[in-house]
Structure 1
Amino acid sequence: MTVTERATELVRSRVPFVQATVVRAQRPASAHAGDTAVIRADGVIDGFVGGTCAESSVREYGLMTLSTNEPLLLRIVPGAEPGAAEEGAVTVANPCLSGGSVEIFLEPRVPAPRVLVVGDSPVAEALASLGGPLGFAVERVPGEDAAPAADDAALVVASHGRGEEPALTAALRLGVPYVGLVASRIRGAAVLASLDVTDEQRSRVRSPAGLDIGGRTAAEIALSIWAQVVAERRAAEARAPSPGTPATARVVDPVCGMSVAAVDASPHVTVDGATTWFCCDGCRSTFLTDPARYAPAS
């Protein structure tokens, strides 16, 4: 499978990853401009952007960008100050590097928050049309096929009486942050009263869905709903910022002194119950010849 095919597969599966692209390479670096790879959340790298030591830095900083959701230009050069940083870029020394330097652009690819829209009404169509430009991945489904997930950003029922209760109940029980029902106040109250949920869960349903902007057309109603979704998401983020992908622990290779990501994809070994990580298999082999030599001072 090519790197492009792997990236396409991950996007389709809504799996977060980092796209790494070599933008500049100086001989005798083994990578070339245009080389690409993807770094998955477990640290596995598919593709080629440099030798094993450079790959270790790509893994470390790739996982960091995945946790911050901010792109980064990674410069790997011999003799640099470790971790020398500037806005949007970091320069790291690679003691294993035989010479040359390489610059790699790390771009986190995090799935857009999913919003499930139930129904085929004009409002549902308008919701689907407006969601993409706002940064949401909108899926439209009939009420009977609605399968909300706990990590969905929102569920909006706009099916005018078709399959409303099962979709609303499932979303409320899963804790979907925003649950909206497109209905009049009278009909909406009747639907909510019929739900087999707790009073606290029932109170979370926005019905009629959307901010009161005096909307009349399907597009205006959809706009009011998206405004409410965005407002509630921003308010929730202000109260408790999203943790994103958990940050990966970073440790020092005791042989060469490089900083490495403490993940299973990095070379590592467990001796006397203690696990040590390395930038490459060469450092791991050196360590195993005399583990006591590299034991931390007590």
Structure 2
Amino acid sequence: MQSLDLDVLERALEWKAGGHRVWLVTVAQTFGASPRPPGSLLAVRDDGILVGSVSGGCIEDDLISRRDSFTGRKPLFESYGITSEEARRFGLPCGGQLEVIIEPEVPSDDLRALLDHIASGRIIGRSVDLATGAWSFAPAQPAQECERTPERFTSVHGPRWRMLIIGASEIAIYLAQVAETLDFKVSVCDPREEYRSAWRVAGTQWVDGMPDDAVVAFKPDGHTVVLTVSHDPKLDDMALLEALKSEAFYVGSVGSKQTSAERRKRLADFELTAAQIARLRGPVGLSIGSRTPPEIAVAILADLVAARNHIVLEKVERDERRKRA
């Protein structure tokens, strides 16, 4: 879940507690290019104030102007961009179509229950009964997509994306700066005093202690990334031994192919299973000839974004080669 979507739920609950009526809007499906992915949230207050987004702004304006026509507990669907003229009117990219589900009356108890699930660190599926508007919850997987059947609509929600960086190296500086813009809450751990005193990246949280303890205390979940960039095998390995046993969605370590092969042998000596070691992305990042710290950070984050968006890069590369053949 993006922090913006979490904010939508929190604000909607606050507004309802203040006596306002609130409409909850969720992107149900997209076709072609779309400004916001399925599952994105928007809340509209009875006075036209909104939080969140489902498009670049034009669809939000339409929903605000029509909000009083959406009544009752039963949810309804609205489609945008069916024709090219409509796509232009609502500011959708060429060929883009968007379907949203509008819930005119969401009980505060349902919003509170969803926020409680998210706060616990669980990835949860929220199912909306299309006949009654009632919500139900069930465990979900990070890669699970929004789903619509004739009976219900299900969206997937989870805690905010977090990143734990081991090693306050120059690579870590660029990783942290860009990761913040990608909606990651970034924490950094490095027990070496000279690195701690030199760390100056605003918005990040410093974690005291040794890397293995930091990973355990972090309690990695399906929305957690652990990256080791200290260039010190002792520090990196300590973190990896715990991260690879955790539920972290992405675990990566910088280094050459030879360094990465040696690291895998060491991890096996510490009795990690083959399946656990196979989760390690190392050398981490896309192979784009990166040499400088900023380039390495870009390569890592590009691979990370692809993984978060469930993009299989090998398939993309094969498809591109076929197009050029």
TM-score by length of 2: 0.46
TM-score by length of 1: 0.50
| Greater Rg over alpha carbons, structure | 1
Where is the helix percentage greater, Structure 1 or Structure 2? Answer: 2
Q: State the structure with bigger RCO (CA 8 A, min sep 6), 1 or 2.
A: 1
